[in-house]
């Protein structure tokens, strides 16, 4: 049943993409500023390819701002048969659909790993004796029991049929490629595959810079393994076990000695990261025709992202702010805006270090919100990762509000754009209001999911302490 649903879901997702593409949606979607940004535009990539073919730097003309490797990969597809643009679109569309499917597959695998880890750790934390009591473990199992779908299958289907993913895939941008590399890095880290994780991380950072912050969750994943309850809960359980001679023969769980810190694996990861970076820079230099072009590449990709040079409208907060802000303060505010991503990294890591995958989701969501050129393609991957955290987020409070927020943005932002640009009856403030709504919705989603996970951990704590308190005769106060 579950398998059938997955296959039906995949078939539907693929069909929808091809039907939309056959209906000529690429032309329409490829123009939407919510979908295409200056860094992910395939049209700009084609322009870069055109300059490259002329023997100029692909970054000439301030058109292309992506990686030379991506250009080498996708560039030839954009110019297949001069004049015949349909065939090139056909090819690049195939590639994008394939990357989407690969991303879904990675999410599926990751979901399976996370789910088995969940079952393992919760089983250790909440022994079978307490199964009669309402436990978190039953919540987890509920998902499988009712929907007959594994966590990975849910996440993969959520990612595949998400309208944002579909729109980005059909519209023709490079963000599916960036997304799949982020997923590859997380999958590799989860699996303990150092070269794969290093490749995914280095490549995704090379392509879009922001995944650099994922170094923290990937490191934790490599060292300490997937998401699990806090260690002190295991300490608590172990204390009970040691105090209870009946349970003494059972293995201690979650302590430093039992959770093997995979430092060797992490060392490999760092080593491979360095290797991949060298390879990436070397290949880029080869693609650009010399190491002296690497500086230009960095300026045109990272510099373009950090300096916010293109102020054309998008769903982010940067463009309008930096159009309006006085030049004198521009540098200061650029630093402040980017610092908003960096400043929360440490508190997040301290608080959620035991949940690296969730940490990765939060970081991706924050970058989605505070990117200089965000698109709904970034939302697509952050929502896909959200699917992996569904057990912990079961009692998310504002789900209706957030869902409607996304709907409002999806419907009203094109309308406002139309009013401003095409009809001329509105102005830029109309559209920027939608950007603000989008940022608000995302910030609510981020804050509330962090809060929910912290509440979940607190509940686990309480549940794990239950037997001790029962023994001592004190009842925990329910809230």
Partner 1 sequence: MAGNSSSKTNGARIDNSSRSAGCSSRRRGDEIRREAGDWQSMAFMLVRSMKRNSEAGAKKVEGLVAGARGCGDDVLLGNHLKAIVPTGSAIGQRCCNDRTMANNSFLTSGLRSRQVGASRAFVWGWFLCIVPFLISGCHSVADKGREEAFSEDLLIRPLSDGKVLNHFYFKNYLHTLGSAAHNHVFPKAISQLVRKFHISELELSFTQGRWNYERWGALDPVGSSNAKPSGVELWAEFDVPSDQVDPTWRNLTHALSGLFCASINFLESPAVVAAPSLVFGSRINKGASKEGHTANVRKSGVVRYGALPREAVCTENLTPWLKLLPCRDKAGIATLLDRPSVYKGYYHSLRVHVGRSQPGGAVILEQTLTLVLQPAQLRERGSKELPNWSLTSLFARKLEGRCPLAKSSHVLLELERPLVLSVERLAASKSEPAELSDEKSQQGRRNDKGRQVDVADNPAFHMSPYPDRVFVESQGSGDISQASSLMLDYDLQNHSSARPLNLAMLWKERVYWSSLRGPFRVSRFLIGSGNEKGSLAIELKRNFDLPVQDEVVAANDVEVTIFQVVAWYVRLYLHTLTARVDGNQVPLQNIITQMLVTPAEDRLSPAVLEVKLKLPRNVSIMSLTMDFDKEAGSVHVYTDNLLVPLATPDFSMPYNVITFTCTVLALYFGSLLNTLRRRIGEEERLAKRASGGKLKESISRFMEGKSATQKKLIKVSGVILIAGIAVAFNYALEYYQVL
Q: Which is nearer to partner 1, 84 or 147 (CB)?
A: 84
Least separation in angstroms between CB 151 and partner 1 = 24
* Cβ closest to partner 1, residue 17 vs residue 32: 32
**CB closer to partner 1 out of 287 and 369:** 369
Q: Residue 329: CA atoms inside 13 Å, Cβ hemisphere, count? A: 9
Q: Binding to partner 1 (CB under 8 A): which residues in 457-476?
A: 457-458, 461
210 binds partner 1 (CB under 8 A): no
Nearer to partner 1, 201 or 431 (CB): 431
Closest CA to 64 of 257, 248, 304: 304
Length of the chain, in residues: 479
Indicate which single residue of 68, 103, 313, 405 sits in contact with partner 1 (rule: CB under 8 A). 313
Name residues contacting partner 1, limited to 427-456 (CB under 8 A): 427-429, 432, 436, 439-440, 443, 446-447, 450-451, 454
Please, what is the minimum distance in Å from the beta carbon of residue 459 to partner 1?
A: 9
CB of 205 to partner 1, least distance (A): 23
CB of 315 to partner 1, least distance (A): 13
* Spatial CA neighbour of 46 closest among 28, 70, 25, 26: 70
Cα(357)–Cα(186) distance, rounded to whole angstroms? 8
Token code pair at residue 399 = 């789900």
Which among 187, 108, 121 is positioned nearest to 457, based on CA atoms?
121
Q: Yes or no: say if 104 and 10 are a contact pair by the CB < 8 Å rule.
A: yes
Task: List the one residue out of 14, 37, 35, 38 whose CA is nearest residue 26.
Answer: 35
Q: Is 367 exposed, middle or buried (0-12, 13-18, 19+ CB in 10 A)?
A: buried
The residue among 195 and 414 lying less far from partner 1, judged by its C-beta, is 414
- Taking every pair of C-alpha atoms in the chain, what is the biggest distance, in angstroms? 82
Among 422, 425, 474, 475, the residue binding partner 1 under the rule CB under 8 A is: 422
- Residue in the block written with tokens 């959620």: 352
Separation between Cα atoms, residue 183 and residue 169, nearest integer Å: 16
Binding string to partner 1 for residues 28 to 67, with x set by CB under 8 A, is what?
---x-----------xx-xx-xxx--x-x---xxxx----
Q: Give the count of beta carbons closer than 10 Å to the beta carbon of residue 472.
A: 7
Closest separation between CB of residue 74 and partner 1, Å? 14
Nearer to partner 1, 23 or 325 (CB): 325
Q: Applying CB under 8 A, does 109 fall inside the site for partner 1?
A: no
Q: Are 333 and 67 in contact (CB under 8 A)?
A: no
Tell me which residues in 135-194 interact with partner 1 (CB under 8 A): none
Q: Does 325 bind partner 1 (CB under 8 A)?
A: yes
Q: Which of 343, 404, 407, 471 binds partner 1 (CB under 8 A)?
A: 343
Rounded least distance, CB 216 to partner 1, Å: 15
Q: Is 344 in the site for partner 1 (CB under 8 A)?
A: yes
- Among residues 277 and 321, whose Cβ is nearest to partner 1? 321
Nearest alpha-carbon partner for 272 in 190, 340, 349, 189: 189
Q: How many residues bind partner 1 (CB under 8 A)?
A: 59
CA angle centred on 446, ends 205 and 233, rounded to 5°: 95
What radius of gyration, in Å, describes the C-alpha atoms of the chain?
Answer: 24
Separation between Cα atoms, residue 22 and residue 439, nearest integer Å: 33
At 84, list the tokens: 């015949």
3-state secondary structure of 65: coil
User: Token pair 């392509």 is at which residue?
Assistant: 207
Taking the least distance from each CB to partner 1, the nearer of 247 and 336 is 336
Residue 324 in contact with partner 1, rule: CB under 8 A: yes
x-or-dash pattern for partner 1, window 66-85, by CB under 8 A? ------------xx--xx--
Tokens of 80: 């297949």
Least spacing, CB of residue 273 vs partner 1, in Å: 28
Site string for partner 1, 345-384 (x = CB under 8 A): --xx-xx-----------------x---------------
| Span near partner 1 by CB under 8 A; candidates 116-124, 198-206, 373-381, 422-430 | 422-430
Angle between helices 85-125 and 376-388 (to 10 degrees): 30
- Asked if residue 289 binds partner 1 (CB under 8 A), the reply is no
Place of tokens 């996708």: 74
Q: Which CA distances in Å does 179 have to 100, 195, 232, 397?
A: 9, 18, 34, 27
Q: Is the CB of 15 or the CB of 62 nearer to partner 1?
A: 62
Candidate segments 113-121, 199-207, 274-282, 309-317, binder of partner 1 by CB under 8 A: 309-317
The strand pairing partners of 173, in sequence order, are: 41
- Whether the Cβ atoms of residue 389 and residue 453 lie closer than 8 Å to each other: yes
415 binds partner 1 (CB under 8 A): no
Residues found near partner 1 in the complex (CB under 8 A): 31, 43-44, 46-47, 49-51, 54, 56, 60-63, 78-79, 82-83, 230, 309-310, 312-313, 317, 320-321, 323-326, 337, 340, 343-344, 347-348, 350-351, 369, 420-422, 424, 427-429, 432, 436, 439-440, 443, 446-447, 450-451, 454, 457-458, 461
């Amino acid at each position: 049943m579950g398998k059938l649903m997955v296959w039906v879901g995949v078939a539907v997702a693929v069909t929808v993409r091809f039907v939309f593409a056959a209906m000529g949606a690429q032309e329409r979607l490829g123009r939407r500023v919510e979908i295409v940004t200056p860094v992910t535009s395939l049209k700009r990539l084609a322009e870069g390819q055109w300059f490259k073919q002329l023997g100029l730097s692909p970054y000439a003309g301030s058109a292309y701002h992506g990686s030379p490797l991506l250009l080498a990969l996708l560039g030839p597809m954009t110019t297949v048969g001069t004049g015949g643009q349909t065939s090139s679109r056909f090819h690049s569309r195939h590639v994008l659909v394939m990357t989407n499917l690969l991303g879904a597959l990675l999410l599926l695998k990751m979901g399976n790993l996370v789910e088995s880890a969940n079952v393992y750790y919760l089983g250790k934390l909440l022994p079978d004796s307490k199964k009669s009591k309402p436990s978190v473990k039953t919540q987890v199992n509920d998902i499988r029991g009712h929907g007959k779908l594994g966590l990975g299958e849910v996440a993969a289907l959520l990612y595949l049929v998400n309208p944002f993913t579909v729109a980005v895939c059909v519209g023709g941008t490079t963000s599916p490629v960036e997304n799949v590399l982020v997923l590859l890095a997380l999958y590799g880290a989860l699996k303990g595959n150092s070269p794969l994780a290093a490749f995914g991380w280095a490549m995704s950072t090379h392509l879009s810079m922001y995944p650099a912050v994922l170094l923290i969750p990937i490191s934790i994943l490599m060292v300490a393994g997937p998401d699990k309850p806090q260690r002190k809960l295991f300490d608590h359980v172990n204390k009970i076990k040691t105090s209870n001679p009946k349970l003494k023969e059972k293995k201690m769980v979650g302590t430093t000695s039992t959770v093997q810190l995979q430092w060797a694996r992490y060392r490999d990861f760092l080593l491979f990261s360095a290797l991949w970076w060298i390879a990436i820079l070397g290949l880029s230099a080869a693609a650009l025709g010399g190491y002296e072009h690497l500086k230009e590449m960095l300026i045109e990709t990272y510099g373009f992202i950090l300096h916010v040079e293109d102020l054309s409208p998008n769903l982010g907060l940067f463009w309008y702010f930096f159009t309006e802000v006085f030049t004198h303060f521009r540098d200061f505010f650029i630093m402040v805006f980017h610092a908003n991503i960096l400043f929360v990294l440490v508190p997040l890591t301290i608080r959620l270090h035991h949940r690296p995958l969730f940490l990765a989701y939060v970081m991706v969501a924050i970058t989605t919100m505070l990117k200089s050129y965000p698109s709904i393609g970034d939302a697509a991957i952050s929502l896909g990762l959200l699917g992996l955290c569904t057990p912990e987020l079961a009692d998310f409070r504002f789900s209706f509000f957030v869902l409607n927020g996304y709907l409002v943005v999806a419907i009203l932002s094109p309308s406002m754009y139309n009013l401003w640009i095409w009809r001329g009856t509105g102005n830029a403030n109309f559209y920027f209001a939608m950007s603000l709504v989008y940022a608000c919705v995302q910030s609510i989603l981020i804050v509330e999911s962090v809060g929910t996970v912290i509440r979940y951990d607190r509940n686990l704590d309480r549940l794990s302490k239950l037997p001790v308190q029962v023994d001592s005769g004190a009842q925990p106060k329910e809230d």
